[in-house]
Structure 1
């Protein structure tokens, strides 16, 4: 198990370098640069040249990438060109809001998704199953930003139950959490239902019925435990995607966070901030994938046996 963990961590190293290169190149290929937001109207070409030299933007792209990557590997995310503050400070100020939102959305989608999946599996091919799967299908195809606007219109504008925007109270978290969590709920419910139906057809379930255990106890205590293996793996994989999905939701609800910081910095072409934000989101996806593989190996004896 330990050797498998080491191999998986080492596999992330080339992925990290490839992702960092893609982030750097895509950002620098976008028209415009941060100097446009710093120069005054009518500034001379010499002023632009001096400012580009000050921030190292006059050097070839391979040199800029090497310098940026070298600083990142030593823990230095650089200084924001437009905001003129350390990038680490900006991220440290925004990240807790995104983690709080993403963590609550993950908890919501886990609890509600598993619950709906269990109810659907226990009522297979009956009306509760059809109703839940119909709602799941609708929830999985609904864009997050559109759902956020609908929830805002109904519960904030019409009913006045929750604030439209901001992050000053726990009420401001309800609608953003629902917006992000409902999509994950649909996925978790569908996987839970399929996994429980598959596990219910295995030989050990027939043996438990032969021993006289009640069907409900078999389903909730034994079948569900086996069905949670793929569910836990999917939830770990969704860690990064939930943080990425929070980008649009934070903008819709005008919440402070990594997404708001990313969009604002992207409009200003503030390279160090955008690169750091995108790298953080990419690392969240990579770490979620690693966590999913580790949890699957820890929960499934067959996987551990295959690893040797």
Structure 2
């Protein structure tokens, strides 16, 4: 298992380099720059060149990327141009809010999605299955920002059950978690149902039926163990997906977090902050993928054998 972990970790190195290069290029290809937000109206071209030289924006992009990557590998993401604070401090101050939202939404998506998907597979072909699949399809199509606004309108404004915005109390987390988690429920439930249906058609299940085992016992004693392996992989990918999905939701609910910090910095073209936030989100996806692969390898030795 240790050898498998080392090999998977080595495979992530070129992915990290490619991801960091894409993050850097995307940020710098967006029209405008932070100097536009710092200059006063009527400022001279000499003042612009002075600020560009101060922040290293007058150098070629290749040089800027090399310097940024070298510093990032040592844990230094630079200093925010507009906010005048170290980017690492800004991220660490906002990361707990994003983690609270993301992990709560992941837990909600996992419990509800696996339960609903397994129930739909158990009653495959019934009216319950058709209703669940229709709900899954609808849930996967709803944009998170629109669903968040709808949640605010119904449960915060009309019914007054939860706060409209902020993160001052635990109940302020309920609506954002539901907004992020509903899309996750749809995906996990669909994958869970498909995995159960596929496993149920394999030869060993037919043999278990021939031995006289009840359908309930086969489902809970044998199908669950095999069907949950692809679900574990999806859950690993969902770690990064939920952190990314929380970006717009945090902004809609005016919550502190990486999402609000990222969107605000994008508007200001604050390159170091945007690059740092996107790098963290990208690393979240990579870490989630690694955890999912390790969990699947622990459950199925054949996965480790393919890598040996």
Give the TM-score normalised by the residue count of structure 1. 0.95
More displaced, 218-227 or 108-117? Answer: 218-227
Spell out, residue by residue over 1:105-137, the C-alpha distance to the aligned partner (whole angstroms, 9 max, x if none). Answer: 100010000110111111111111111111001
Say which is worse superposed, 155-164 or 37-46, in terms of deviation.
Answer: 37-46
Contact 2:4–2:304 (CA under 8 A) maintained in structure 1: no
Q: What corresponds to 1:53 in structure 2?
A: 53
The question of 1:254 aligning with 2:254 is answered: yes
Deviations 1:134-158 (A, max 9, x none): 1001101111111111111111111
Q: Which residue of 2 aligns with 1:123?
A: 123
| Matched residue SS, 1:83 | coil
> Are 2:34 and 2:269, in contact at CA under 8 Å, matched by a contact in 1?
yes
Task: Compute the displacement of 1:213 (Å).
Answer: 3.8
Say what the alpha-carbon RMSD is for the aligned residues.
1.5
Provide the residue aligned with 1:80 in structure 2.
Answer: 80
**Which residues of 2 match residues 92-111 of structure 1 at below 5 A?**
92-111=92-111
* Aligned-partner Cα distance in 2 for 1:210–1:24: 59
Mapping of residues 1-308 of structure 1, within 5 Å: 1-308=1-308
1:282 Cα shift?
Answer: 0.9
Deviation at 1:207, TM superposition (A): 4.1
1:212 deviates by 4.5
Q: Deviations over 1:67-89 (max 9, x none)?
A: 11111011111110110001001
Structure 1 gaps of 5+ residues are none
State the alpha-carbon separation in 2 of the partners of residues 104 and 65 from structure 1: 35
SS in structure 1 opposite 2:225?
helix
Q: Please identify runs of 4+ aligned residues in structure 1 that moved more than 6 A.
A: none
Task: Please give the alpha-carbon distance, in whole angstroms, between the structure 1 residues aligned to 2:195 and 2:31.
Answer: 48
Q: C-alpha distance in 2, partners of 1:182/1:116?
A: 12
Count of residue correspondences = 308
Instruction: Give the Cα–Cα distance (whole angstroms) in 2 for the partners of residues 25 and 215 of structure 1.
Output: 55
Cα distance in 2 for residues equivalent to 1:9 and 1:90: 28
Give the superposition deviation at 1:27: 1.3
Q: Provide TM-score, normalisation by structure 2.
A: 0.95
